[in-house]
Amino acid sequence: MCDQHASHVSRRTLLTAVAAGALAMPAAPGAAAEVSGSNVMTPDAALARLLEGNGRYAANTPSYRDFSAGRAARVAAQHPIACVVGCADARVAPDFVFDQGPGDLFVVRVAGNFVNTDSLASLEYGVAVLGAPLILVLGHSDCGAVKATIEVMKTNVVLPGHLPMLIDAIRPAVDLAEKARAPDPLAEAIAQNVRHNVRRLEQAGPILSDRVARGQVKVVGGFYDIGNGKVTLL
**Domain residue ranges of the chain, discontinuous segments joined by +:** 32-63+78-233
Q: State the pLDDT confidence band at 30, using cuts at 50, 70 and 90.
A: very low
Class of domain 32-63+78-233 as given by CATH: alpha beta
Lowest-pLDDT choice from 65-74, 124-133, 140-149, 178-187: 65-74
Residues 74-85 pLDDT 10s: 888 899 999 999
pTM for this model (two decimals) = 0.83
pLDDT tens digits, 82-98: 999 999 999 999 999 99
Q: Using one digit for the tens of pLDDT, what is the confidence trace for 202-219?
A: 999 999 999 999 999 999
**pLDDT surpassing 80 at residue 11:** no
Q: What is the DSSP string of the chain?
A: -HHHHHHHHHHHHHHHHIIIIITTSPPPTTHHHHHHSS----HHHHHHHHHHHHHHHHTT-PPP--TTTTHHHHHH----SEEEEE---TT--HHHHTT--TTSEEEEE-TT----HHHHHHHHHHHHTT---EEEEEEETT-HHHHHHHHHHHH-PPPSTTHHHHHHHHHHHHHHHHHHT-SSHHHHHHHHHHHHHHHHHHT-TTHHHHHHHHTS-EEEEEEE-TTT--EEE-
Calculate the average pLDDT of the chain.
86
